[in-house]
Structure 1
Amino acid sequence: MSFPDAIKSVFSQYATFSGRARRSEFWFWYLFLVIISAVGGILLGIVGSASLDTATGTFGAGFYVLTALISIVWLALLLPTLAVMVRRLHDQDKSGFFWFMTLIPLAGPIIMIVFYATAGTVGPNRFGPDPKGLQAPAGQYGAPAV
C-alpha cells in the first residue's frame, strides 16, 4: 500500500473501528501525522516569532488563530487515528481494548509499538478477511482444513 493509498484508506474509514489495517496503512498514517505536526510547528514558529511583541511579551492575534486552527486539525485527526490503531490490533486478532495498554507508564507505549510492528494473522480472523488478500494454508492459523 502506497502513502497516498494509506491516507485515503484511513480517511475513507474515518470512524470505522471494525475490520483490519495493514502495517503499511498504519505506519504511513503515522508518517502523515508527523508531517502535519512538523508543518504546523514550523508555521507556528514563524507566525509566533513574527507577531511577538518583545516589549510586552505577548503574541499577536494571528498566533492565537493559528493555534486554534492547529488544535481543530488535531481534534479532527484524533478519531481516524484511534480507528486505525484499533484496526491494526484487529489484524493480529487482538481486541481493540488492547489500546488501553498505551496508558501504562513507560512499558505500555513500548509494548504497543511492538504490537503495531508485528505482522498480522495470515488469512481471515474473527475481525475480517486478510487485508493483504492472503489465505492461510489449510489447517494453519485457524483456517479450516479442506
Structure 2
Amino acid sequence: MIQALVRPPAATVPTIVWRWEAETDILSGSCRTPMPGEPAEAIELSSPEGAVIVLDVIGGEICGLDVVIWPDVDTHVALQAPTSGLPGRILLPPSPEPRQFESVLSVDVDGLEQTFHLLVGSRRPVTAIRVADHLLIEVDAADGLAGFWLTGVPPFPSEE
C-alpha cells in the first residue's frame, strides 16, 4: 500500500492538461514542473497483468501521472467523477530508494471516453481529493492511495 498524506490545498486549484501520445497510447498529464533543484521522482504502479501507471512526484507531492500500459478498460456509459472532491494536495512520504509498487489496477471509462477512473487495489470506501481541475485522487480510510479520477480527457487522436 502506498501511504498518502492529505494536505491543505494551494491558494488556487492548479490546471492539468491531459495529452495522448498517439504512437504509444500513453495518456499523460501534469499540473506543474519542478523548479531548479527541486526533487522530482517517478513512482511506478504495476499490476501482475502488466499494466503500468507512473506517478509524477515533485517535492513529495503527486502532480500528475502517465498511464503507460493500460489494464483492461471497462466502459460504463453513465460513469461520473465525484463532484464534491475536497480541495487538497497529496504528499507521499520520502524514500531514499526508487519506488515501485505492485497492485491490481483497473480502469473504468465513461461512454464518451472523457472521464477515466483508475482503481488501485480493490474497491473500498474512499475520500476524493481534488488536486487539480481535472484530477482527483482517492484515499482510503487507512490513508492509502486508492485511485484516480481523470476528467476532461481529450479524444484519442485518430490515425490517418
The structure with the larger Rg is 1
Q: TM-score range by the shorter chain?
A: under 0.3
**Structure number with higher strand proportion:** 2
Tell me the TM-score normalised to structure 2 length. 0.19
Tell me the TM-score normalised to structure 1 length. 0.20
